[in-house]
Amino acid sequence: MKRTPLYWMSVLSVLLGASSYGFLSPFIKEAYDAGFTFEQVTLYQTGIGTLLLWIIALVRIKWWRNPFRGPWIKLAVIGIVGLMLTTILYNRALERLDASLAIVLLFQFTWITILLDSIRRRTWPGKFRIIAIIVVMAGTLLAVGLLEAKVANMDAAGVAFGLLAAVTYSLFLWLTGLVQEEMDPVIKSAVMMSAGFLLVALLYGSKAVHDGADGSLLGWGLLLGVLGQVIPTILFNIGIPTVGSSLAALLGSMELPVAAIAAWLILGEYLSGWKVAGIALILAGIVIAELPSGEREGRSKRLEENR
């Protein structure tokens, strides 16, 4: 099937959005090292990100439309369940784990999204996608240091936060792919972020303010808000409705090498041979997932037939 320029623009949008998100983890670690708390980082990151999105939406008068004349309730749910819970859980994981390990755990969103999409379509994944899931899991065991006797030193709560972030990130990709409404992606992003920020403000607002802040925290909030909220949210809202959630999850593999390299360059985190091999296996699993399953169209077994 011939691919249109719109399709390739959508693919590029998802790749760039994933790359931006990949840079996020080492900078969050840097903010923690600068003495700021989880509550402060999360509140300023999401608050400034939300503000920037509305500023961008308001100055783009040509594309403006009333955000409440579209599926704003669905977008609000995606913003809370997908975007904001992912930010909260991932920031918690980064409190307790190395940035490179946290991104590997988050990266489990790939096979989780494939599973969600298969359930929605009521078909079993093809044989190559099942193999891909196995390969990704094997790569994860290597990437987290199983063969380097580092598992015992891992923070169990941090690992749990990282895996839960993978689940909520999967929900974000999957649910965003289901919203086909013709709405400006910046306005869609602003509505999502606004609903999510209300949750963060209710949960952590008083704590973040009580801890005090200075001008440098505003700078960190600006950097993290742009990398984690503005760029990826807009680009995902542009690309995912066109390419679909399953392919978006595969394209999201760009996050892993970007995050690992960024953690090495910015934080000086060690990239062992096993970790590199694990990352390579995860990326190989993503490639395998897109191989043809060999099944004829319409012959996939439906879940309901096996209940």
Give Cα separations from 59 to 46, 62, 160 (angstroms).
20, 9, 41
Give per-residue pLDDT as tens, 28-51: 989 998 889 899 999 999 999 999
pTM: 0.77
DSSP 211: T
User: Which of these ranges, 36-40, 78-82, 117-121, 250-254, has the smallest mean pLDDT?
Assistant: 250-254
User: Counting every residue, how long is the chain?
Assistant: 307
The CA distance from 90 to 217, in Å, is 19
Which residue type occupies 290? E
Residue range 199-223: mean pLDDT, rounded: 81
Residues 6+ positions from 237 with CB-CB distance below 8 Å: 176, 185, 186, 188, 189, 192
Asked if 25 contacts 103 with a C-beta cutoff of 8 angstroms, the reply is: yes
Asked if 59 contacts 240 with a C-beta cutoff of 8 angstroms, the reply is: no
The CA distance from 242 to 287, in Å, is 20
pLDDT of residue 133: 76
**pLDDT confidence bin for 300, thresholds 50/70/90:** very low
Residue range 194-215: mean pLDDT, rounded: 81
**pLDDT confidence bin for 180, thresholds 50/70/90:** low
